[in-house]
Structure 1
């Protein structure tokens, strides 16, 4: 029992009002609920639902949005329909269906346990760009009378507009997501290129004037301020890498990230550090990526942050002319070695940076050491186990 008929002006106006209501929102979940409510209002249906088809083909219905049920009725239902019976008929043959009594129709498969009894039925497919997105299901028209051809025509017209509304909402959601990712990337760049560099320059300026200050209290205050700036820089670096991880599901290789960190330190060092990555005996280019089984994202993020802190320490304290960065990755361990040709570890010097790096390693079950080299310079080793 399917078919359509021309809509009288009054009904046509109601359909137009329903279309306006459905298309006035760009949030997909809200659009879907408005589609169901609008179809119920147009036909006088007591119950309504929209079943979203699973595009992957693994399931019949991947989402089911019901309206008209009380909280107790929802709680009593064993499970939502999966797409059998009349619902399955509409999936297999996406054409409008009207049934005067569900229980009498040979295509009916009954209801899940706890589902309230329903009698009259109207089902209409919702298409998005010529592809069936889902189906509208309406039951129990007011007055216990069957749904009419006019009801069907009104819901078919609504479904056509609903498909456009769904498409718009999905496009808007994707554009919004892209915008968020672009914003994250822009914020991360600004934090690194502007904020960190200015904080670093401020700290270096304070350190340069500290020897000229004779008042012990003022010198201590300068040292505390520099320490605060160090901690702020570390926190911003952690935020930057969290933003990059969230913004880029296809995260870059750890080699690329280490090179980027070394390049960022070139300005303050006055030279470019040499960076080498060795993976399971193969030289650079072995393809270790953040989040892969051999390099969990949490280890990769800490490696990059530690390298940034190590290069910062070299710039401030080592008076070095060269730095070599080496990352070795085996099946069981990631080990970062940073070697410089500077003045070595000074007796009585600040150790806060080394303690922070050691704490990061300890949190991952690894360790951190820094030793003075016989011919001058320092070798920092930082390692963490890999699962």
Structure 2
């Protein structure tokens, strides 16, 4: 019986038959392969952990592209997100400078090789992009690219997007191992993307619940103000009006009438405040302004004029919108209670990143002896937003208030 070999055969040259230098070289090669494989697996694990460490979708997409480039040593990477019609709704890139991205102009629409992977959602490795039948070339300003690896990303068994990697460094081609690594990364990416979308839905749902609670609290406060405060003030005003004819000294009667007017003004202010409490934070500024003018109309006795210029509904942040409505409410209340005006005009304009609001009336103007506390409050509100408040006379008579605030 022949002696059994001292090692199992796997199609490899027996190490005992190799010269010592070739033996050392072969062993070094095998060790290098083992170490390289372990490093790549560790890199894949780090990438999977990294992309799952964030719940914001945009950040996850950027992490996926960066991790893919690192894993297979690609110079450039991109992630295309598919829309409902099968085109590209978003395109995240890695490896190109801002100047190179700007030079490309519009985002890809899904033609050429990108369109081929969209239509055929399977991994694709190419030694030369230009040699593929679906290639349509690069637009002006696009950096040169040759080798290519594309892998689809699925979320819940539905095509969601594609990973594109080009120009493996040192001019070599992408390998089957590279493809396997990116396919594994794509699976993890699909899970991370799905988690981010679910988190976004839950966050939106929670925000809606909190918003509903806020509106319920505002409704309760509004009802309490109306039922407990406004009605009592109204009743007090009626009682004073009923006894004013019994007051003999004219100066005393005038003071009673003045108190009645102040009560009526306070009622109007409360109604305007209640209106502001019930405004939807997502409502357009123009609609909120018109609604406030409708409430103040009862106090003024006529309809104020209003004009809008520029993107007042899209360019004004929520924090500024809230302050603008508060300042406008105070200005209109002052005009109704003190100016004796027969005309009030409101202008809201957004031009070159600056919001300008003016309120003018044809009343008696601001007396020199009038307290400046209200005006100081209007100025401090504007200054808190980095803006400015000015006031003065209007032509031919009356008052002009103006706010300017950067957006």
Structure 1 length-normalised TM = 0.58
Match of 1:79 in 2: 106
Alpha-carbon distance in 2 for matches of 1:63, 1:26? 18
Give the 3 Å change call, closer, same or farther, for CA 205–78 of structure 1 in structure 2: closer
Match of 1:147 in 2: 174
Give the 3 Å change call, closer, same or farther, for CA 236–208 of structure 1 in structure 2: closer
Alpha-carbon distance in 1 for matches of 2:229, 2:268? 11
- Aligned pair partner of 2:271 in 221, 229, 233: 233
Q: Contact 1:27–1:169 (CA<8 Å) still a contact in 2? A: yes
Q: Contact 1:78–1:113 (CA<8 Å) still a contact in 2? A: no
Alpha-carbon distance in 2 for matches of 1:206, 1:173? 47
- Aligned pair partner of 1:185 in 212, 225, 236: 212
Give the 3 Å change call, closer, same or farther, for CA 309–76 of structure 1 in structure 2: closer
Question: 1:23 offset after TM fit, Å?
Answer: 1.2
Return 5+ residue gaps in structure 1 as ranges. Answer: 1-5, 247-296, 313-350, 364-387
Question: 1:100 offset after TM fit, Å?
Answer: 1.4
Q: Contact 1:19–1:158 (CA<8 Å) still a contact in 2? A: yes
Alpha-carbon distance in 2 for matches of 1:35, 1:225? 64
Alpha-carbon distance in 2 for matches of 1:140, 1:18? 20
TM-align CA RMSD: 4.0
Q: Across the two proteins, how many residue pairs are aligned to each other?
A: 265
Give the 3 Å change call, closer, same or farther, for CA 118–195 of structure 1 in structure 2: same
**Considering only CA atoms, is the larger Rg found in Structure 1 or Structure 2?**
2
Structure 2 length-normalised TM = 0.55
Match of 1:19 in 2: 48
Alpha-carbon distance in 2 for matches of 1:223, 1:184? 37
Alignment partner of 1:39: what SS? helix
Alignment partner of 2:183: what SS? helix
Alpha-carbon distance in 1 for matches of 2:88, 2:156? 19
Alignment partner of 2:58: what SS? helix
Match of 2:93 in 1: 66
Match of 1:114 in 2: 141
Give the 3 Å change call, closer, same or farther, for CA 176–309 of structure 1 in structure 2: farther
Q: Contact 1:98–1:147 (CA<8 Å) still a contact in 2? A: yes
Alignment partner of 1:109: what SS? coil
Alignment partner of 1:140: what SS? strand
Give the 3 Å change call, closer, same or farther, for CA 229–141 of structure 1 in structure 2: farther
Give the 3 Å change call, closer, same or farther, for CA 222–41 of structure 1 in structure 2: farther
Match of 2:191 in 1: 164
Give the 3 Å change call, closer, same or farther, for CA 221–67 of structure 1 in structure 2: farther
1:99-138 alignment, distance < 5 Å: 99-138=126-165
Alpha-carbon distance in 1 for matches of 2:137, 2:282? 51
